[in-house]
Structure 1
Amino acid sequence: MKQLGMFILSVGLGAAISAGTAVAGDDVVVDSDVTKVESELAKKVKAQKITVEQAKEMGLNRAETYEVTSTVSVDNLELQLAEKLKDSIMPYYSIEYNDPTSDDEAYRAMVTEYFGKVE
């Protein structure tokens, strides 16, 4: 499967570079992976995904921050994220993925959960 991924990555390399998309090795979460993961999470999780900037603008309080890691695949990372977030009672969350220039051997996501302003 990794060979197929490398073939697809190699074939799409020229298009990705011309489109300005980050191209990285198999061990990182790139733009197309992020779109797929977030689309699947939206189907499985009740909480609303927001950006860190939106959380600040909305005056939200940070409830918890944790890292989710998969050494298997981006799909496995999405499954782990869904498991963590589907049981959460927090109404909002944000996700920051590992840097595409990382030489790490794992797919990583830093999740922060938020709750509303305390009046």
Structure 2
Amino acid sequence: MKKLLWICMLGAGFVVADENTVVSSDAAHVEAQLSEEVSSQLITEEQAEEMGLNRADTYEVSSTVSVENLELLIAEKLKEREMPYYSIEFNEPTQDSGEFRATVTEYFSPVDDE
């Protein structure tokens, strides 16, 4: 019966998440807030590749408090590092950790050879 209910929920387009999962609406909110707080531009990894950007650094940011706290921690990191572009991949927490996690990748423009 549980399997049938699960299949019906997935088929209907419902997403069931526990309170520690960064769901797409949370991710969109975090990304919107960051775009207002930092001067760097949010892009996707695909856009970075298309633009020929160089990867500066990739790091993980985590919070055990809330999605909002995760957003504040990401903003602090981006402000201190001042790279022109960044992308974010939100990671689902493991059941035992209870952490909100995101992997941030920073990029800079290609260097012209002259």
What band does the TM-score fall into relative to the shorter chain?
Answer: 0.7 to 0.9
Structure 2 counterparts to residues 79-90 of structure 1, below 5 A: 79-90=72-83
Identity of aligned residues (%): 58
> Unpaired runs of 5+ in structure 2?
1-8
Shift of 1:23: 2.7
Larger radius of gyration: 2
Q: How many residues align?
A: 103
Residue 17 of structure 1 contacts residue 23 of structure 1 at CA under 8 Å; is this kept in 2?
no
Residue 29 of structure 1 contacts residue 97 of structure 1 at CA under 8 Å; is this kept in 2?
yes
TM-score normalized by structure 2?
0.81
Q: Distance in 2 between matches of 1:16 and 1:85?
A: 36
Detail structure 1 runs of 4+ shifted over 3 Å in the superposition: 15-18
Matched, 1:30 2:38: no
Q: Distance in 1 between matches of 2:11 and 2:65?
A: 26
Partner of 1:47: 40
Residue 51 of structure 1 contacts residue 94 of structure 1 at CA under 8 Å; is this kept in 2?
yes
TM-score normalized by structure 1?
0.78
